[in-house]
Amino acid sequence: MSIFSTAYAADGATQAAQGGDLSMIIVLSICMVAVYFLFMRPNAKKRKEMQKLLDNLVVGDEVLTNGGIAGRIVKLPDNKEYVLISVSSGVVMQIKRNYVVAVLPKGTLEAVAVDSQKNK
């Protein structure tokens, strides 16, 4: 008699596990959708905005680099990989285009230069 009750108990456990598998799949799919909307989608949006900013750079734009250096674009070489920026009179730096993080409003560099001269 104990053989039949053991077999019956194993059959009940299998049915419960199958129901648990379905709920596990539903929970995992909900988690995957949440990860997409919380992490992947905003990052893709930021990446598109950054690419748009880099594609719209023109000579004369005042930019801020990843390292905190502010300067004015003086030349955009044909290779589209580097940018030449003037950081002060007579000082021109060549940086990778990807290191430009922001385009500053016109006149920012002059305002900062005037403020630094007043503090001396």
Chain centroid offset of residue 44 CA: 7
The domains of the chain are located at 1-56, 58-118
More confident residue, 4 or 111: 111
What pLDDT is stored for residue 10 in this prediction?
Answer: 54
Among 70, 69, 73, residue whose Cα is nearest residue 59: 73
More confident residue, 41 or 18: 41
Q: What is the pTM of this model?
A: 0.63
Chain centroid offset of residue 48 CA: 9
CATH topology of domain 58-118: SH3 type barrels. (2.30.30)
pLDDT surpasses 80 at 6? no
CB atoms within 10 A of CB 65: 19
What pLDDT is stored for residue 109 in this prediction?
Answer: 84
pLDDT surpasses 80 at 12? no
Block residue for tokens 């299998």: 14
Q: Six-digit token pair at 114?
A: 């005037």
What pLDDT is stored for residue 22 in this prediction?
Answer: 87
Q: What is the mean pLDDT of residues 45-51?
A: 92
Compute the mean pLDDT over every residue in the chain, rounded to the nearest whole number. Answer: 83
pLDDT tens for each residue of 49-80: 999 998 889 998 999 999 999 999 999 988 88
